[in-house]
């Protein structure tokens, strides 16, 4: 059993593990080389050979405990019929959402469109040491809805008026997404992944009155599915601040990833019956080595006597020096 899976399943206090969100990505020169030759991001995610190679790049470089498959949360709306384009320096743009077409999707076609991802997982699992975890992931329903309906005004604000004007049954869309996300989870696990992380990147922008329906309940349904299928799971409800406690008590995930706004001591005292992951601000890797190690020490010390997965409070930034990542991993393992 992989270290990560052992922590999540057995909650063995002696087990420690380290991996990073976006560990396969733009900060690595070996990734940038592949990316420069493959301009279409969606096509790159659907290239089983290359996506597997990219997944393994940080494992080869840093010998991390877990690999996370190179893909994107927006592969789900892509497979459900929306065009997805990644605009340089702006981010993703999706074609106009069509409710009728969305509701008309079928499971077979959905899985067929995403089959290259499952092939990539198969290839990666064969090349990955049996003691290392292979993590699958999905975007949570609310976060996908934000992209699907083009609700983002900027990084910190949503166009909620646009959401209300559309006069659509949001719960109906979220429930449909849960159905297809559950299929995507199961397909990834069947292909060889052993853990799934659920990214609710825009949970922090949900109005207070809607957070239960749009975040807690949707994540809980996915976690319930994972538990029924005996799939270790980690939730990342980014930006919800003190609501992390209510989220954890309602959703009951196996693991919960802290964002960098959450105080680790508060998390230790308030998040019960769950494995804690991450929290360190990825920006600290851009500072001096002393500042980086001081930041890491804070998390290591707070969580030294409970099950903890060393990770970040968000993904590695493109401007991160790979040597810094190497030093951080070495420091954690030798601490």
**Would you state the pLDDT for residue 14?**
67
Q: How far apart are the first and last CA of the chain?
A: 24
Is 154's pLDDT higher than 90? Answer: no
**Would you state the pLDDT for residue 166?**
59
Pairing relation of β-strands 16-18 and 66-68?
unpaired
Is 12's pLDDT higher than 90? Answer: no
CATH level 3 topology of 18-260: TIM Barrel (3.20.20)
Strand partners of residue 157: 154
Which pLDDT band, with edges at 50, 70 and 90, does 163 fall under? Answer: confident
Chain segment 200-216, per-residue pLDDT in tens:
999 999 999 999 999 99
Chain segment 121-151, per-residue pLDDT in tens:
999 999 999 999 999 999 999 999 999 999 9
Is 192's pLDDT higher than 90? Answer: yes
* Across 2-16, 68-82, 178-192, least confident range: 2-16
Q: pTM to 2 decimals?
A: 0.96
Which pLDDT band, with edges at 50, 70 and 90, does 231 fall under? Answer: very high
* Across 52-61, 87-96, 303-312, least confident range: 87-96
Chain segment 257-276, per-residue pLDDT in tens:
999 999 999 999 999 999 99
Which pLDDT band, with edges at 50, 70 and 90, does 13 fall under? Answer: low
Mean pLDDT of the chain: 95
Using CA atoms, how far residue 57 sits from 53, 177, 284, 297, in Å, is: 6, 31, 23, 26
Phi, psi for residue 183 in degrees, rounded to 5? -65, -45
Is 165's pLDDT higher than 80? Answer: no
């Amino acid at each position: 059993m992989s270290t990560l899976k052992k922590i999540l399943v057995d909650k063995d206090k002696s087990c420690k593990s380290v991996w990073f969100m976006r560990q396969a990505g733009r900060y690595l020169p070996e990734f940038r080389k592949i990316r420069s030759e493959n301009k279409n991001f969606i096509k790159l995610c659907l290239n089983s050979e290359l996506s597997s190679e990219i997944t393994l790049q940080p494992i080869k470089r840093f010998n991390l405990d877990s690999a996370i498959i190179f893909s994107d949360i927006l592969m789900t709306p892509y497979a459900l019929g929306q065009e997805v384009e990644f605009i340089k320096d702006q981010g993703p743009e999706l074609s106009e959402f069509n409710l009728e077409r969305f509701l008309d999707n079928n499971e077979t076609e959905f899985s067929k469109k995403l089959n290259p991802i499952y092939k990539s997982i198969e290839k990666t699992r064969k090349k990955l040491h049996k003691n290392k975890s292979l993590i699958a992931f999905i975007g949570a329903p609310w976060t996908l809805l934000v992209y699907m309906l083009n609700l983002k005004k900027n990084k910190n604000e949503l166009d909620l008026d646009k959401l209300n004007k559309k006069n659509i049954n949001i719960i109906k869309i979220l429930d449909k997404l849960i159905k297809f996300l559950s299929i995507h989870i199961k397909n990834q696990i069947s292909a060889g992944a052993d853990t799934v992380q659920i990214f609710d990147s825009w949970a922090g922008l949900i109005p207070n009155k809607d957070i239960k329906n749009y975040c807690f309940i949707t994540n809980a349904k996915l976690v319930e599915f994972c538990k029924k299928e005996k799939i270790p799971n980690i939730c990342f409800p980014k930006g919800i601040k003190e609501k992390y406690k209510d989220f954890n008590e309602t959703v009951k995930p196996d693991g919960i990833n802290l964002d960098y706004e959450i105080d680790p001591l508060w998390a230790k005292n308030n998040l019960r019956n769950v494995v804690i992951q991450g929290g360190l601000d990825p920006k600290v890797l851009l500072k001096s080595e002393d500042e980086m190690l001081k930041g890491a020490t804070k998390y290591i010390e707070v969580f030294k006597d409970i099950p903890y997965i060393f990770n970040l409070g968000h993904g590695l930034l493109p401007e991160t020096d790979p040597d810094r990542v190497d030093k951080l991993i070495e420091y954690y393992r030798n601490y």
